[in-house]
Amino acid sequence: MTIVNLAQDYVGSNNLNLLLPNGQYGTRDQGGKDHASARYIFTEPAPITRTIFHPADDPLLNYLKEDNDQIEPEWYIPVFPLVLVNGVEGIGTGLSQFPRPPSSLCIGDLLFKRRVEHIGPEL
């Protein structure tokens, strides 16, 4: 289900999809619930993905092994918090949360202001 959600690109699903929706990932009409079974869909990273997960961070990642082959990293390091862009949904003990993500332009402005405050303006 996670891969399906990461590839949905219709209005209201994600502000930023990290995977290309090469297959039936659901429609806006049914909120993505009409997606195909995971074994029948294909995907690949979207072109913007390497901008968000910068290649210079690759040596810092702990790559997993399967059948003695190196596969994906245990975790990734995005250049900005993706929780702010695509939102989050979670359930805790006696608490459920589903905060709506703010506008992408608002996030960009806030990150730029933070960079100027902590690093200083570019010369």
Angle at alpha carbon of residue 84, lines to 108 and 94, rounded to 5°: 160
Active site residue 10: no
CA distance 33 to 109: 33
Instruction: Name the active-site residue from 10, 40, 63, 76.
Output: 40
Answer yes or no: are the C-beta atoms of 22 and 43 closer than 8 Å. Answer: yes
* Catalytically annotated residues: 40
